Structure 1
Amino acid sequence: MTTRSKGKSTQSDQNKIAAIQKHLNNRVFLLDASLIDKPSDGDIQIISLRNPSNEKSTKYLYAKEKQQFFELLSFSEEHRSWFANDTVYPDGNLYITSPFDPLFLALYYIRRNSSDRCQPIDQTIVDEDFTNTHLIADVMTVQQMSMIADQKGDASLKAFKYNESKALIWLSLKCEKLAKSLKESHFHIGAKSINYIKTEKVGNESQNDGEYLSYAYGIIGDYITLELCEKLSDKLGLEKMKPAMAGKRKSLIELENNTLKRIKSEENFATANMLETVSPSPPPPKEKKVSAKELKMAKAATGTKSISSFFMKK
């Protein structure tokens, strides 16, 4: 009787876990129309690659037919869920895909593996910890690689050696182009209110350009190593901003809710910890308040001996 009821309980728990896992596997994605226009089987893949900035595992979306990478972001909000097809899905995150230049990924590997020697792309862009790294080498063209490296030997070999001067020029152009786009779209930068900025007169135009450039530099800096980020700062003439950027370059996994987060590679691609109950931490002990009377008594006792001192052996 006991064994039978225990077996039923175990089966019931497994069914509940399976139901929860089924809900967790349903998520809402915001995709580009080109990605869902008659896709073939296995065309769209969610893969894990090494983040070129912090070297941690990060999720990307790869469109095989288009040979295009997308950065996978999530917009999370507290106490949020989705209601679809008469079902409530507990994962209320909104997953967003953003086109991503794979040359940032290639830059990390060629800078690490081909700084002092020339070798083919398929031998440069390799990573034992990430099996899908070869996809980066598959989509790289000679024209793209020539922006950050020098081609050596026979053209059919596609062998390159890292050129830091080229890489910094390419990154500088990325920053300048992004800064121009932000300015033309009237993107708001700064702590002042938008209404206040509209009413005030624009004083120093070059100063505004510098603000947009530094903001663009902060965005591009999230896709390169800290060492290369500092060299880019020198290239753009933003040396004075290094201390400020050091505080800005924090992992997106530490950001609060209501922000866009890069999706880290975790077990079950999201929230296995939703199946566990976390016990709340005990509240910190309250500090005992000292009354005015106790303060006066302590002050009066200053310099006096304890009564036990009279009974000590001399």
Structure 2
Amino acid sequence: MATKRKRTPTVPNSSWVAIAADSSIDTQKHGSDPAFVRLRNPATDAASLYMLSSGDVRLFEVKAFEEDFHSWFVGQTVQRDGRLLFVTPMDPLFLIMPYLIKSGKEEKFQPVDQVVEDEEFPHCSRLLSCTRSLASLHHIAEEKEVGKQMFHRYSPEKTMNWLKKKVERTVGVLKARNVSVGGGVQSTTYIRVKSESDSHDEDYRRYAHGLISEYLSEDLSTALLQHLKLPELTSPKETEPPSKKRKLSGQPVEAEEDYTKFNSADFTRKPPKKMTAAQKSLAKVDKTGMKTMASFFSPKVKAEKK
């Protein structure tokens, strides 16, 4: 729900309007403000905007909807940045996983704080403070304890099993909400309710795979598709569940279509106009041999001389 608190996440020299749960800006336990940070996007490898809650306990994904010539009235001021940000919870393992995959090429156990390092994105180390991070590393890595220190090594097998569970949970949510995932669905923003004929399980699994793949590299997405034993489609653009392409920039992900201007009335077929009594009578007349009105105004064709 939209929060009514006055406290908002701060970004230097910037102010945004955001929709977020109250829990995302709760500062009672840790006493610090949440912060927007730029981190490496696990799917595109480029910079994307995320938010860390107070005390870096939870990670949130930030997406933006933007319109041209749009601004906000906030109190007695006008906010020129008219973007509307959506702040939603995200599993930090998706962002930690690429670093483990890179270090896994050395095939040795390493301390995770030495693995999750990035000169271009120094805030990545804060991901390890999230409550779910260290406790969930066993889902994607092998663990070894030496003394009192834990060492980790990336495990492709564990990762595939973990991602498969993510897909299965997503399928359960889609079915519970009666979401149609058949070929007629054209956008993940407009979700159609189930028709009389329910979609097959393969359609649900393929759709869920598409949603999870928004947080995976192309190679990892392909590997997951094979792990799920889903055949590759010949025309993926026409039959696969749609997914939004992220812009390769440090800005929040933007919606590429203007959904606010969609009007179903514009797409309804207009009924034919009713004919008057005179038009009906004229329609019954035998027009054989008659000339059309336009023929009296068309230029005469000159006969060619032999």
Query: What TM-score do the two structures reach when normalised by structure 2?
Result: 0.67
Q: Amino acid of the residue matched to residue 256 of structure 2? A: E
Q: Deviations over 1:226-263 (max 9, x none)?
A: 1111110001112323862799666322851437xxxx
Aligned CA distance change for structure 1 residues 99 and 247 (closer, same or farther; 3 Å): closer
Cα distance, 1:182 vs structure 2:
1.1
Measure, in 2, the Cα distance between the counterparts of 1:247 and 1:179. 13
Structure 1 stretch displaced more, 51-60 or 133-142: 133-142
Matches within 5 A, 1:53-64: 53-64=43-54
1:28 aligns with one of 17, 23, 41: 17
8 Å CA contact 1:78, 1:257 repeated in 2: no
Question: C-alpha separation between the residues in 1 aligned to 2:236 and 2:180?
Answer: 19
The answer to whether the aligner puts 1:91 opposite 2:86 as a matched pair is no
Q: When the two structures are aligned, how many residues end up with a matched partner?
A: 233
**Aligned with 2:88: secondary structure?**
strand
1:201 counterpart (196, 203, 213): 196
Q: Match of 1:239, SS?
A: coil
Alignment counterpart, residue 179 of structure 1, candidates 171, 176, 193: 171
Residue number in structure 2 paired with 1:138: 129
Corresponding residue to 2:114 among 123, 146, 151: 123
Higher mean C-alpha displacement, 96-105 vs 147-156: 147-156
- Identify the residue that residue 18 of structure 1 maps to in structure 2: none
Q: Secondary structure at the match of 1:240?
A: coil
CA contact (8 A) 2:51 2:60 kept: yes
- Larger relative contact order, structure 1 or 2 (CA cutoff 8 Å, min sep 6): 1
Deviation at 1:153, TM superposition (A): 3.8
Deviations 1:278-313 (A, max 9, x none): xxxxxxxxxxxxxxxxxxxxxxxxxxxxxxxxxxxx
Instruction: State the secondary structure of the residue aligned to 1:47.
Output: strand
Pick the aligned partner of 1:50 from 34, 37, 40.
Answer: 40
Does the 8 Å CA contact 2:141/2:153 hold for their aligned counterparts?
Answer: yes
SS in 2 for 1:74: strand
Letter of the structure 2 residue corresponding to residue 145 of structure 1: L
Question: Which moved further from structure 2: 150-159 or 171-180?
Answer: 150-159
Unaligned runs of 5+ in 1: 1-23, 260-314
* Aligned-residue offset at 1:225: 1.1
CA RMSD in angstroms comes to 3.0
| Deviation by residue 1:86-125 (Cα, 9 ceiling, x = unmatched) | 3332222111100010011111110111241110100111
User: Against the structure 1 CA distance between its residues 221 and 257, is the aligned structure 2 distance closer, same or farther, given a 3 Å change threshold?
Assistant: same
Which sections of structure 2, spanning at least 5 residues, go unmatched? Answer: 1-12, 248-253, 260-306
Q: Using the TM superposition, name which of 121-130 and 24-33 deviates more.
A: 24-33
How many angstroms apart in 2 are the aligned matches of 1:242 and 1:97?
A: 35
Aligned equivalents of 2:148, 2:133: Cα separation in 1? 12
Using a 3 Å threshold, how does the CA distance of structure 1 residues 57 and 195 change in structure 2: closer, same or farther? closer
Larger deviation, residues 62-71 vs 243-252:
243-252
Q: Please identify which structure carries the higher helix content.
A: 1
Equivalent position of 2:246 in the other structure: 252
